[in-house]
Amino acid sequence: MIYDAIVIGAGPAGCIFSHLMAKQGNKILILERQSEIKRKVCGEYLCPEGVKSLRELDLNHVLSGFKHLNGMIIHSPKGAVVDSNFPASHGRSNYGVSVNREVFDNRLLSQAMESGAQVKMGTTVVEIKFNSSFWQIKTFDGGEFYCRLLIGADGRNSFVAKSLNLKLENEKKNIALHAWLPCKRKLPRKGQMFIFDEGCYIGVDPINDKEVNISLVCQAKHIKKYGSANDTFEFYLNKIKDQIGVSITKEIKVHTSFPIEHSVSDIIKTNVALIGDAAGFVDPITGEGIFNAIKTAHMLVQSLEDYPSLVSFEQGLLNYKQKKELYFKEKTRLNKGFQWLIRSKLLVEIVAAFINLSQKKRDAFIGIIGNIYTPFRGVMKMIF
């Protein structure tokens, strides 16, 4: 059997792509390395534009029961507080969402299966080869599958990107440390970011009234300095624990994620495309992995619809590449700018002081972060 598409990876990008394509009658197979979908180590935040995107795809039900986030509070190294609200904008949600990734991802996988996609869990891909007009995929357990279109939706350590020599070397040494902690008090329904010296920062996402997601991003040298991932996490969390109402105990399980950035030389090749984190990811400080997954999966499906083909997907894939580059170009530059900015305490304080001149400036700034405004439009609203 030759599938219309085989998707490597059962995360949000792979499942949304599979759902949309299977719903159109395509034969889709998802191959997932893990035997079951577990809670993923990430910030577990979906921006307002991501909420809007799911609603437009009739997938709003996957957010059922998750708590809204109404804005963000940013704390500078010297204690300045930028308290902002997601601005209302025509046709867009003015709230983000805190999600439990285990629940969220399983809902998307179930949706893909209900739409007709086949799924093989606990299946590790060990070889991919293009044979003139179709892809041959071999798995660790001896399985062999064939498809007309191959989709790499396998994250920042993408096997597909590596196998096709699309992955670039990552020179940055930032590491993310995550933990889920119980709350001692009810936190505001806003994400929080605490910026420290040397570009280190902590993101705080109140998943619900009883649990908070803590994400620390720092350099590898800091872990060496403090002795271990747990010691480094504890050192920085001690600085803010009273502000967010959490306790530090020896039972805290700290998860490590590396690399937190991923670059590729291209996102397409002959009858193959990368989506989600596999297509490249620049740490935006505020967490946008889920949104990128939704957006790139939808973009690819739209491009394939615009340029249907039974043999070569060249035009559809080129259209997808152009769409993605155009849409994410400004935001990628801005994310890199943020990375540069937070390395300077002086610049952080200057920017915080400027944004704090008015609520309008604060909300315009968070409008950029939440993808409600394009960077250009958001900056214009902050200035004028």
pLDDT at 4 over 60: yes
Range of the domain at 112: 2-44+101-170+260-340
**320 within a domain of the structure (yes/no):** yes
pLDDT at 163 over 70: yes
**285 within a domain of the structure (yes/no):** yes
* One domain, residues 179 and 271: no
Q: Which pair of tokens denotes residue 262?
A: 């991923």
* One domain, residues 124 and 272: yes
Q: Rg of the Cα trace of the chain?
A: 21
* One domain, residues 321 and 282: yes
What is the spatial distance between Cα 39 and Cα 231, in angstroms, rounded to a whole number? 23
What is the spatial distance between Cα 345 and Cα 257, in angstroms, rounded to a whole number? 25
What is the spatial distance between Cα 373 and Cα 379, in angstroms, rounded to a whole number? 9
Last residue of a domain, one of 232, 257, 282: 257
User: Residue 26: which CATH number?
Assistant: 3.50.50.60
Task: Using pLDDT thresholds of 50, 70 and 90, give the confidence band for residue 171.
Answer: low
Peptide bond before residue 12 is cis, with ω within 30 degrees of 0: no
For residues 119-135, one letter each, b for 16 or more C-beta atoms within 10 angstroms of the residue's C-beta and e for the rest, the string is: beeebebeebeeeeebb
Stretch 293-309: mean pLDDT:
95
The pLDDT of residue 283 is: 62
* One domain, residues 178 and 247: yes
Contacts with 373 (C-beta within 8 Å, 6 or more apart), sequence order: 87, 89, 364, 367, 381
* One domain, residues 178 and 248: yes
* One domain, residues 18 and 107: yes
Q: Are 52 and 29 in contact (CB under 8 A)?
A: no
Q: Which amino acid is at 227?
A: G
Q: Angle CA(46)–CA(202)–CA(219) in degrees, nearest 5? A: 115
Last residue of a domain, one of 200, 231, 257: 257
**154 within a domain of the structure (yes/no):** yes
**86 within a domain of the structure (yes/no):** no
The pLDDT of residue 331 is: 75
Pick the closest to residue 43 from 110, 86, 104 (CA basis).
104
Q: How many domains does the chain have?
A: 2
Pick the closest to residue 36 from 84, 99, 106 (CA basis).
106
Q: Angle CA(70)–CA(298)–CA(166) in degrees, nearest 5? A: 110
**74 within a domain of the structure (yes/no):** no
pLDDT at 93 over 90: no
Strands 96-98 and 45-46: antiparallel
**83 within a domain of the structure (yes/no):** no
Q: Are 23 and 116 in contact (CB under 8 A)?
A: yes
pLDDT at 321 over 70: yes
Task: Using pLDDT thresholds of 50, 70 and 90, give the confidence band for residue 69.
Answer: very high
What is the spatial distance between Cα 184 and Cα 330, in angstroms, rounded to a whole number? 39
**143 within a domain of the structure (yes/no):** yes
Q: Which pair of tokens denotes residue 35?
A: 């035997």
* One domain, residues 198 and 148: no
Q: How far lies 39's CA from each of 89, 311, 344, in Å?
A: 32, 38, 34
CA neighbours closer than 13 Å in the CB half-sphere of residue 308:
4
User: Residue 240: which CATH number?
Assistant: 3.30.9.10
Is pTM, for the whole model, over 0.85? yes
* One domain, residues 283 and 327: yes
176-180, 189-193, 221-225, 341-345: least confident range = 341-345
Looking at the chain, the whole-number percentage of residues with pLDDT higher than 90 is: 66
* One domain, residues 178 and 253: yes
pLDDT digits (tens, 9 = 90+) for 236-274: 999 999 899 887 777 788 998 877 778 899 999 999 999
* One domain, residues 203 and 178: yes
Q: Which pair of tokens denotes residue 45?
A: 């935040």
**368 within a domain of the structure (yes/no):** no
* One domain, residues 122 and 264: yes
Last residue of a domain, one of 198, 230, 257: 257
pLDDT at 200 over 80: yes
Higher pLDDT, 346 or 124: 124
Task: Using pLDDT thresholds of 50, 70 and 90, give the confidence band for residue 172.
Answer: low
